[in-house]
Amino acid sequence: MNMNQPNSPPIAPPKKIEWISCRASEACEGKQAYCTLIFRKGLLQGGGTTRRYRCTTCNGVFTITV
């Protein structure tokens, strides 16, 4: 793998509901969301992935970076 490669294009995973607390707003008490996009970071940026979720209760969007 070339270290100077740009980020790979985002991946659209299948719509699978996961148990995760909503982080879109403080007022929402939703505990289920599904992943809409996965971004993979390049090695020069520290690696890892960023996932974008959509809450099934409030329909808000939030991201989690791992």
- The better pLDDT of the pair 12, 30 is held by 30
Confirm whether 54 is domain-assigned: yes
Q: How many domains does the chain have?
A: 1
**CA atoms of 32 and 60, how far apart (whole Å):** 11
Residue with tokens 């989690």: 64
Model-level pTM? 0.78
Please report the sign of the dihedral spanned by the C-alpha atoms of residue 10, residue 66, residue 48, residue 7.
positive
Q: With respect to residue 11, please indicate whether it lies within any of the assigned structural domains.
A: no
Q: Which domain holds residue 25?
A: 17-65
In a domain, 46, yes or no: yes
Q: Per residue in 19-49, pLDDT tens?
A: 999 999 999 999 999 999 999 887 777 889 9
Indicate whether 47 belongs to any domain. Answer: yes
Confirm whether 10 is domain-assigned: no
Say if 8 falls within a structural domain: no
